Structure 1
Amino acid sequence: MLYKLVVMGSSQVGKTALTAQLIGNCFIPDYDPTIEDSYRTQLVVDGEPCQLDILDTTGNEEYHALRQEFMRRGQGFLCVYAVDDVKSFVDVNIFRDQLRGIRDTDRVPLVLVANKTDKADCLVTRELGQEAAKSFKVPFVETSAKTGSGVERAFQELVREIRRFSVQELKHCRDAEHDQGCGFKPCKVM
């Protein structure tokens, strides 16, 4: 099955490094601003092989229109912040609010990712990340693109969220269909 994933977050949080670590098991130490790059890879999630179409996006505000487009196209979203950058953590709220506005729903498959956990100068604690994820009602994963820790788990968790979302949507549609019935009022036999 093909999953369209979007990696989003502020500039320099490690979105490209996370994607490169998943795709090629390598770390990219140099910062090179991304506008939009697309990658394909396979990943096994809960015993099932999955084809991932990953869109690595820009965090620059000047590309706001482009950001809206990728928020429309994605099935699921990794919202990434860096533990050594408080502003990137605060910006998670902006990305989430934009996503909810564009999709016109609070229910979007999303995983909150705390990246750069290998750094000694952690400014955003695990507890803050967990609290944010709990308030968003989404999973929380800590990663290090440098060491590879948690990277595969973050993408796997997003695939699981997409699957859960799909099951919930199907159930919601069936319930709505059942509540409406066939459109005819029942007849009474006298």
Structure 2
Amino acid sequence: MTMSPDVNTTVCFPKGPPDINIVIVGDSYVGKTSLLKTFVTHEYSKKYEGPSLERYFEDITVDGQDFHLILWEPIALESYDKMREFIYGKAECIVVCYAVNDLESFQRVSTFWCPEIQKYCQDTPILLAALKADLRDQNFKCISRSQGKDLKCILNASGFVECSSFLGIGLKDVFVKAIQCVLKEEKCKVA
């Protein structure tokens, strides 16, 4: 009787760049979907699509290191609180958005979005993002950059960025800053 040798087979797959889960929240109509779609497709679309859970994927290099972004956009409606709670559990950084031409969306950052985030994931870094920055040139009643920076300090957020999906300005900065917030947080946990 012939015995066959015991063979252990290990399949190795090349290791890709690390995944980073970023959750994008804010009131409806502030420009979250435009931010994500324009960043991923490099094309701006004026078409508004109604609320739905969206997930986008994009590879990016920051400070010489490659990352695979998993970008979550949960539905902003209050009836979807439980779904957002689940998605917050995946977050390594949360980008809280407001539109510079929408005072209510700016106020709800501190009265609704940040309290909700603190309830479910208080140790996750928060990046404050002012969207539709191009509208400042057309509307004198916009939230100023200094007001955004002040709110960042009040909320003890990890960072503040501004962008315009329409002009394609500052989009990559949002995600570079989010990754930097994650890396800084990881470094603090190790130290």
Q: Which category of TM-score, normalised to the shorter sequence, fits these structures? A: 0.7 to 0.9
Deviations along 1:4-49, one digit per CA (max 9) or x if unpaired, are: 1111110011111000111011112122123211111101111111
* 1:118 counterpart SS class: helix
CA offsets per residue over residues 56-102 of structure 1, 9 Å max, x none?
Answer: 22221221111211112211111110001111111111111111111
Aligned partner of 2:113 in structure 1 is 95
Q: Are 1:15 and 2:15 matched, yes or no?
A: no
Q: Which runs of 4+ in 1 moved over 4 A?
A: none
Please tell me whether residue 117 in structure 1 is matched to residue 136 in structure 2: no
Instruction: Check whether the contact 1:33–1:58 (CA below 8 A) recurs between aligned residues.
Output: no
Map of 1:136 onto structure 2: 155
**CA offsets per residue over residues 128-147 of structure 1, 9 Å max, x none?**
10100122232110100111
Q: Which runs of 5+ in 1 are unaligned?
A: 172-190
Indicate if the aligned counterparts of 2:31 and 2:132 stay in contact, CA closer than 8 A.
yes
Preserved contact between residue 36 and residue 56 of structure 1 (Cα < 8 Å): yes
Q: Give matches, 1:8-157, under 5 Å.
A: 8-93=25-110, 94-103=112-121, 105=122, 107-119=123-135, 120-121=138-139, 122-137=141-156, 138-157=158-177
TM-score between the two structures when normalised by the length of structure 1: 0.85
Contact kept? 1:34, 1:56, Cα under 8 Å: no
Change (3 A) 1:28 1:57: farther
CA contact 2:60–2:67 (8 Å) conserved in 1: yes
Which secondary structure state, in structure 2, belongs to the residue aligned with residue 73 of structure 1?
A: coil
Separation in structure 1 between the aligned mates of residue 69 and residue 48 of structure 2, nearest angstrom: 24
Mapped contact 2:91–2:124 kept (Cα < 8 A): no
Counterpart of 1:141, as a letter, is: V
Determine the C-alpha separation between the residues in 2 that align with 1:87 and 1:75.
27
> How far apart, CA to CA, are the structure 2 residues paired with 1:91 and 1:63?
17
Give the count of matched residue pairs.
169
* TM-score, with structure 2 as normaliser: 0.84
